[in-house]
Chain A
Amino acid sequence: MAEKESVIEVRGLYKIFGPRVSTAKKLADEGVPRAEILKKTGCTPAVVNAEFSIERSETFVIMGLSGSGKSTLLRLLNRLIEPTYGEVLLDGEDIAHQGVAALREIRRRKFAMVFQHFGLLPHRNVLENVGFGLEIQGMPPKERTDKSMQAIEVVGLDGYANSRISELSGGMQQRVGLARALATDPEILLMDEAFSALDPLIRTQMQDELIELQARLHKTVIFITHDLDEALKLGDRIVIMKDGVIDQIDTPEGILTNPATDYVRTFVENVDRSKVLTAGSIMHKTNVVANHKDGPQQAVRAMEKNDHSSLFVVDHDRRFLGLVRIDDALAEAKKGGRSLEPILVRDVATVPVDANLKDMIPLARESKLPVPVLHDDGRFGGIVTRARLLTALSSETEESS
C-alpha cells in the first residue's frame, strides 16, 4: 500500500460563537457542558478542540446529530466559517493565513462542495449549473461545455443537459450538484448531508453510486451525516461528534466493536451489525492447525488436547488446504499412514476476511464446524464459530475482544 499522506490536518480547532470566546474556551476545555457555557458567557462552542488528519483518497465521515457542530466543522475546512482558534493545514499551509484572493483560488481549484438542499441555480439549465464552478474559474465556454458534459455523464444524467432544474426530481437535482462538484476536478469533495434530503430508496442508490465513483476517482471525500448507517457504509474512517466535541475517530469496525464513550455506544446499539462487521473483525486467530507435513498421529494429539473433532490444515505459508476429521485421522494412524494427504477434506466452505456477517449466516447454519476465514492471498486467518457469530450479531459489544 502507498504511503499515507495527509491532505488536511486539523490542530486544536475551535469555533466559538459569541462575545466572550476566551472564557468560553477555558470552560469548554474543562469539560463544562455546552448549555452551562451558554448561560455563563453567552457563547456557543460549536467546535471544541478538533484534532485529526485526513488522508488522500479516503472517505472521511463526520457524524453527529443536529447541533453537534459537524456542519460548522466542515465549513471551517474551506473557511466558509472563520476559526476562532487552531489551525487547518491544507498541504501543510494554514488556510487561516491565506489572503482573500488566495483563499478564492483554493476554493476554486482544491475544494468542491455538495449541499443538502442542492444549492442549484434555478434560472440555469443542468449544463449551465454543472459548468458553474468552471465558469467562476474563468474557463472559456467551449472547454467548459466539454468538461461539464463529461461530469454529467459520470453522474448518469446523459440526455438531461438542457433540462431545467425544476423539472428534475430531488435525486436528479443532487446528481447535478454532484456533477457541478466533480466538473472542476477538485482534490477534496465536501459533502454536507448530501443525501439527507432524498427519500430512502434514492438515498441508498446514491450511496452505492458514490462508493462506485470513489473506487474510480479516488477523491478525498469529507462527508457529513446524521445517519450512522450511512456513515458506516461510506466511511473509511468516522468521526463521531457530540456538542462540538469529537468523541471518537475510528474505522467503522472500530466504532462498532469498541465504542469509546457511552454516547457512541447508544448510537451503535441500533445499528444492523451484520451489514457492517466483517468476518475478519470477529474471527478467532487460532494456532490450533495442522501443518500439511504433520502426520495423522500429531493431528490426533492436537485435536485431543484442544477437545476438537476436526482440525484445519495449512501449508508452510499458512495457506489453507482443508480439514481432517478425528475418526479419519485415527483410522489413518492405525493403518500406519504417515501423511494427512489421503484423509484431507478439500471441499470446505470458507469466507474471505472482508465478508459481511450477514453473508456468513447461511454458512453457519449448514455446517456444525467453525468457518475458516481466509486472507486475500489464501492464507488462513482464523475461525468463526457459531457462538462467536451470534455474539457479534447481538448488540452487546463487551464480549468481542
Chain B
Amino acid sequence: MISIPIGHYFELLINWMTDNWSGFFNGVERLVDTLIDFFETVFSFPHPFVMVALLAALAWWATGWRKYGLALFTVIGFTLIIGMGLWSRTMQTLSLVLVSTLMALFIGIPVGIWAGRSVRVERVVRPILDFMQTMPAFVYLIPAVFFFSIGKVPGAVATVVFAMPPCVRLTTLGLRQVQHDVIEASDAFGCTPMQQLFKVQLPMALPNILAGVNQTIMLALSMVVIAALIGAGGLGGQVVRGIQQLRLGIGFESGIAIVILAMYLDRITHALGSWSARKQAG
C-alpha cells in the first residue's frame, strides 16, 4: 500500500502561510472589516422605511419607469422583513454580500479579461476555477479561520473564493464571443491593445459580464448561511441558531428574508443586464 498524505502537506502549507504571511492577512482583514462596517453603517443609518423607499426607487429605475412590479415587490418584501424584526440582520447580510461581490468582481473581471485575451492564461485559469467551484464550500472555511480567525472577514473571504468563478468565466466568454471580423476591423484601423479592449471588446462583452455579476451575487447569497457557521452573523446567523436550537419559526423567517433579498438583487442585476443587451440589439 502506498500512502499519500496530501492533507498533511496542505496543513503544513497553511500553517506556514499563517506564520509567515500574517502581515498580509492582517491587512486584508482590516480592509474587509472596514468595508463591511462602512456599508452596514450606511445601510442602517436611515430609518428602515426610508431605506425601503430608496431600494424601491432603485428597482423602479433599473426596470424602467413603465414597469413598477419590482418596485412594488420591494416595498412589500422589505416591509415584511421589518415586520419580522430582521431588518438590521438583513442589512448586515446585504453588506457582507455586497463587499464579497465587489471583491470577487475586483479580482474576477481582470482575470476573466486576461483569460479572454490569451488562450494560454485560460488554460491555467480554467482548472483552478473548476477546483474553486466544485470543492465543497465548507472546506474553504477552515483555512479562512486559520488566516482571519472567527467573524465576518473569513466568511467574506470564503464567499469571494466560492462566488468568483462565474464572473471570471462569463467575462472570458463575453470577450471570446466578440465576432472575429470586429476584432480584425479594430486591428486593421490600428487599435492599440488597450483601445481594442476598452472600445471594442469590453463594451461588446458587457451583457455577459453583467450576467456574471448576477451569478456572483447569487452565489454570494447562497454562502451566507455557510459563512455564518464561522460567525459571519446576519440572517445566516439566525438560520444557524434555528438549526442549533431546533426553532422552526426563526429558521423559516430568516430563510424567507434571504429569499426576498436574493430575488431583489437578482431582478435588479438582471434588469441592468438585459438593458445593456437591448442597447446592443437595438
Q: Are B189's CB and A113's CB within 8 A?
A: yes
Of B101-109, B141-149, B232-240, B274-282, the one contacting chain A is B274-282
Query: With a CB–CB cut-off of 8 A, which chain B residues contact A113?
Result: 185, 188-189
Q: Are B279's CB and A104's CB within 8 A?
A: no
Q: How far is the CA of A136 from the CA of B195 in the complex (A)?
A: 7
Q: How far is the CA of A132 from the CA of B181 in the complex (A)?
A: 15
B200 within 8 A of A: yes
Across the interface, name the chain A residue whose C-beta is closest to B206: A123
B244 within 8 A of A: no
Q: How far is the CA of A184 from the CA of B191 in the complex (A)?
A: 14
Q: How far is the CA of A120 from the CA of B178 in the complex (A)?
A: 11
Nearest CB of B to A189, in Å:
11
Nearest CB of B to A148, in Å:
13
A122-B204, A123-B206, A164-B282 known; A117-B188 Cβ under 8 A: no
A190 within 8 A of B: yes
Q: How far is the CA of A117 from the CA of B186 in the complex (A)?
A: 14
Nearest CB of B to A49, in Å:
25
Tell me which of B185, B186, B192, B282 contacts A165 (CB under 8 A).
B282
Q: Are B203's CB and A121's CB within 8 A?
A: yes
A107 within 8 A of B: yes
B76 within 8 A of A: no
B179 within 8 A of A: yes
Q: Are B189's CB and A117's CB within 8 A?
A: no
B167-211 near A? 1/0 per residue, CB < 8 Å: 000000000000101101111111110010001100110100000
Query: With a CB–CB cut-off of 8 A, which chain A residues contact B192?
Result: 104
Q: Are B179's CB and A107's CB within 8 A?
A: no
Q: Are A119's CB and B190's CB within 8 A?
A: no
A153 within 8 A of B: no
A78 within 8 A of B: yes
Across the interface, name the chain A residue whose C-beta is closest to B182: A119
Residues of A122-138 at the interface with B, using a CB-CB cut-off of 8 Å, are 122-124, 132-133, 135-137
Query: With a CB–CB cut-off of 8 A, which chain A residues contact B179?
Result: 117, 119
Q: Are A132's CB and B203's CB within 8 A?
A: no
Q: How far is the CA of A132 from the CA of B187 in the complex (A)?
A: 12
A312 within 8 A of B: no
A121-B200, A121-B204, A136-B191 known; A115-B184 Cβ under 8 A: yes
Q: Are A132's CB and B189's CB within 8 A?
A: yes
A112 within 8 A of B: yes
Q: Are B203's CB and A107's CB within 8 A?
A: no
Query: With a CB–CB cut-off of 8 A, which chain B residues contact A180?
Result: 189
Q: How far is the CA of A292 from the CA of B186 in the complex (A)?
A: 65
Query: With a CB–CB cut-off of 8 A, which chain B residues contact A78?
Result: 188
A386 within 8 A of B: no
Across the interface, name the chain A residue whose C-beta is closest to B204: A123
A80 within 8 A of B: yes
A219 within 8 A of B: no
Residues of A157-210 at the interface with B, using a CB-CB cut-off of 8 Å, are 164-167, 180, 184, 190
Q: How far is the CA of A190 from the CA of B204 in the complex (A)?
A: 25
Tell me which of B181, B189, B200, B206 contacts A112 (CB under 8 A).
B189
Q: How far is the CA of A124 from the CA of B203 in the complex (A)?
A: 9
Across the interface, name the chain B residue whose C-beta is closest to A107: B190
Q: Are B188's CB and A107's CB within 8 A?
A: yes
Query: With a CB–CB cut-off of 8 A, which chain B residues contact A135?
Result: 199
Residues of A71-125 at the interface with B, using a CB-CB cut-off of 8 Å, are 78, 80, 104-108, 111-113, 115-124
Query: With a CB–CB cut-off of 8 A, which chain A residues contact B181?
Result: 115-119
Nearest CB of A to B204, in Å:
6
Nearest CB of A to B161, in Å:
32
Query: With a CB–CB cut-off of 8 A, which chain A residues contact B280?
Result: 122-123, 166
Tell me which of A111, A118, A137 contacts B188 (CB under 8 A).
A111
Q: How far is the CA of A167 from the CA of B190 in the complex (A)?
A: 27
Q: How far is the CA of A137 from the CA of B195 in the complex (A)?
A: 10
Q: How far is the CA of A69 from the CA of B185 in the complex (A)?
A: 19
Across the interface, name the chain A residue whose C-beta is closest to B282: A166
Q: How far is the CA of A115 from the CA of B181 in the complex (A)?
A: 7
Residues of B264-282 at the interface with A, using a CB-CB cut-off of 8 Å, are 279-282
What are 17 contact pairs spanning A and B, CB under 8 A?
A104-B190, A107-B187, A107-B190, A111-B188, A112-B188, A113-B189, A115-B184, A119-B179, A119-B185, A120-B182, A122-B280, A122-B281, A136-B186, A136-B199, A164-B282, A180-B189, A190-B188
